[in-house]
Chain A
Amino acid sequence: MKPIQPMEPMPPSMMARLKDNKIIQAWLVLILAICFGSSLAGIQLTLGPRIEENKINETREKVPELILGAARAQQLAETEKALEIQPTSVAVTKNGRQTAYSVLEARDPEKGRLGWVVKAGGQGYADKIELLLGLDPSAEEISGIFVLEQKETPGLGNKITEEDWRGQFIGKDTDRPLEVVKDRVDEENEISAITGATISSRAVATIVNTAVADLKGKLAAQ
């Protein structure tokens, strides 16, 4: 008697093979991905310019205050005269590496150049600190600073954003680097540290010093 042979498996039909195909199974994922992707592209196209504008405005709004000081900026806002703001970029080569500072030039329509606003950043105590530094036309004097972004300790390091503290920088000479001191300020180039936040205070002074050292010559020459 012949042994019973196991039956050959039937070849899967075309339909069944298609059903097993991983790509076919994922048809819903693919269709959703296309739909969602195109709707996101649409959103980005509509909102993208607005978001960019928000970012630029945040910097521009601060320019009059940083160049002219709070009081005169207020006066200017009331007369509805606006400063002309010209964005430029200044390339600096340091230790063989090229970095670029984004610099805004503020001009008065009649009186010409009023000063510079430099965007500078560096390491703080918790995270990167990003600030705006206002300089007079010849970059001889600091006309103000403003902290754009910081994540310093609330209650201590985040006092760097307060006007009382950052007001110290106004009118400082850029000839000598600024120094942070813990007690009384004696010298012209000294900044008094925030109690309990010496590192944050030093970080801000260092950012300012670096930006001044990098840009002073180039801005004065322009």
Chain B
Amino acid sequence: MSDQPTAAERFIQGILPENPVYRQLLGLCPTLAVTNGMQAAITMSGAVLFVLFCANVIVSLIRNLLKPHLRIVIFTLTIATFVTIADRFLAAYVYQMSKVLGPYIPLIIVNCLIICRCEVCSSKQNVVAAGADAIGQSIGFALALSSIAAVREILGTGHFFGIRVLPEVWPDWVVMVLPPGAFLTFGLLLGLLNWYGTFRAEKAERG
């Protein structure tokens, strides 16, 4: 289709202009749940990259065989398969991490970010565009997750990637590691980005 963005555009858009978390507000369950440490956030992003890339490629390959009323079933089937593979791999090779992430890896199945990309991009475009889209969106997702996780881990525990960065006198803000900290951090960062976006747009208007 000629009116669809090219592969390069898809890739760029996913990172910031259409960032899945900050712009589309998709995939918020893992964003809020696993961002109390950088290691968990990075592992989650890696799992999402794997699932999204594989699902996008498979859906793009069979896109001409899809029937409108059966497409969601096929998306879910594909996504569930790759999520299960990712889950088993984590349990086999990084067992401690898989225990930390607990149910949130299987929950990628219902992450609307992935089904959204299947619907918007890979069921309409060729494999190259779908693959580029998956990588772009996953980088955007990883950036969003690690930005929230960095704030929460540093303020909540004084550590970054498990290494002490703040002096011992820092009174750990326990609330940042708890679920409310996720909402606070995400809300503030989202507000900050929106404010910056408006600020830039106004500046461009005034010339």
Contact = CB atoms under 8 A, between A and B. Distances in A.
B89 A154 contact: no
Contacts of A25: 67, 70
B70 A47 contact: no
Given A28-B62, A32-B78, A155-B172, A54 B70 contact: no
A54 B74 CA distance: 33
Which of the four size classes fits the interface of chain B?
20 to 34
Contacts of A58: 95
B73 A29 contact: yes
Contact of A156 (B70, B73, B174): B174
A28 B67 CA distance: 9
B163 interface: no
Interface in A1-38: 25-26, 28-29, 32-33, 36
B92 A155 contact: no
A47 B92 contact: yes
A50 B90 CA distance: 11
A54 B95 CA distance: 7
Contacts of B77: 29, 32-33, 36
Contacts of B36: 154
B169 interface: no
B81 A26 contact: no
Contacts of A44: 88
A44 B92 CA distance: 10
B178 interface: yes
Interface string B163-192: 000000000101001100000000000000
Interface string A136-162: 000000000000010001111000000
B147 interface: no
B140 to A, nearest CB: 27
Contact of B78 (A26, A36, A40, A149): A36
A39 B84 CA distance: 11
Interface in B80-122: 80-81, 84-85, 88-89, 91-93, 95, 99
Contacts of B88: 43-44, 47-48, 51
Contacts of B172: 155
**Which 3 A-B residue pairings sit nearest by Cβ, starting from the closest?**
A155-B174, A36-B81, A54-B95
18 contacts: A28-B66, A28-B70, A29-B73, A29-B74, A29-B77, A32-B78, A36-B78, A36-B80, A39-B85, A40-B85, A43-B85, A44-B88, A47-B88, A47-B89, A51-B91, A51-B95, A153-B178, A155-B172
Given A32-B78, A155-B177, 14 more contacts: A28-B62, A28-B67, A28-B74, A29-B74, A29-B77, A32-B74, A36-B77, A39-B85, A47-B88, A47-B92, A51-B88, A149-B99, A154-B36, A156-B174
